Amino acid sequence: MALEIEKKFLVKDDTWRAHAAGIVYRQGYISVSEEHTVRVRMAGKRGFLTIKGGSVGGGRQEFEYQIPTADADEMLTTLCTKPLVEKKRYNIAFAGFTWEVDEFFGENDGLIIAEIELEYIDQPFPKPDWVGAEVTGDSRYYNASLATYPYRAWKKQ
C-alpha cells in the first residue's frame, strides 16, 4: 500500500518555465466520493488506472497501475464524467525535492498549480520564489473537483 502526502500551491509567476519540460495529461474520473476516487489517465502515450482513498490526517492511500493505451482511451471516452481534465505537467527539481507544476487547459484554462509530495506530514521543504499561496485544503483545486466544477465556472463567481 502506498501513502500519498502532498501539498498544493498556486503559482505566482512564470519564472518556473525556464526549468521545465512538460508532458500532456488527459484524465477523467469513473467514481468520486469522500471515501475514494477512481481515475483514468493518459500521461503522454501511457495509460494508468488510479484508485485513491479518502484523505486521513493529511495523507491518503494510493494505488496506481499502468494499463494499455487503448483501454485508457476507451475508458476516458465512454466511462469518465465530462469534462476531462486536460493539463501539461512539468517536473522541476528544487533543493532536493521535485515539484510538479500543472498548467490546465480546456475548461480549467488559466489555472496553474504546483504540488510537492512529501515522505511524512510535517516534513520541512524549501519553496521556490514562484510558489504562492497554499491551497492544499481547498477542495476546489482537487483534480476530481475540477472535472465536475471546472475552474472557468467558479472563477467567474
CATH, residue 64: 2.40.320.10
Q: Residue type for 46, please?
A: R
> Please, what's the b/e burial string for 103-138 (b: 16 or more CB within 10 A of its CB; e: otherwise)?
bbeebbeebbbbbbebeeeeeeeebbebbeeebeee
Q: Please choose, from the candidates 140, 120, 121, the residue with its C-alpha nearest in 3D space to the C-alpha of residue 10.
A: 140
State the pLDDT at residue 23. 95
Which among 25, 29, 141, 151 is annotated as catalytic? 29
> Based on the number of CB atoms within 10 Å of its own CB, is 53 exposed (0-12), middle (13-18) or buried (19 or more)?
middle
Q: How many domains does the chain have?
A: 1
pLDDT at residue 136, as a whole number:
92
Q: Running DSSP on this structure, what letter comes out for residue 122?
A: T
pLDDT of 157 reads 62
Whether 29 is catalytic is yes
Which pLDDT value is given to residue 89? 96
C-alpha cell at 42: 493518459
pLDDT at 154 (0 to 100): 81
Beta bridge partners of 104: 87
CA-to-CA separations, 137 to 6, 15, 17, 30, 134, in angstroms, rounded: 11, 25, 26, 23, 8
Q: pLDDT under 50 in the chain at which residues? A: none
Q: Supply the pTM of this predicted model.
A: 0.89
* pLDDT for the residue 155: 66
Percent of the chain with pLDDT over 90: 76
State the pLDDT at residue 42: 97
The span from the CA of 101 to the CA of 42, in Å, is: 17
pLDDT for 55 equals 75
Look up cell 488559466; give the residue.
110
Q: In which domain, by residue range, is 122 found?
A: 2-155
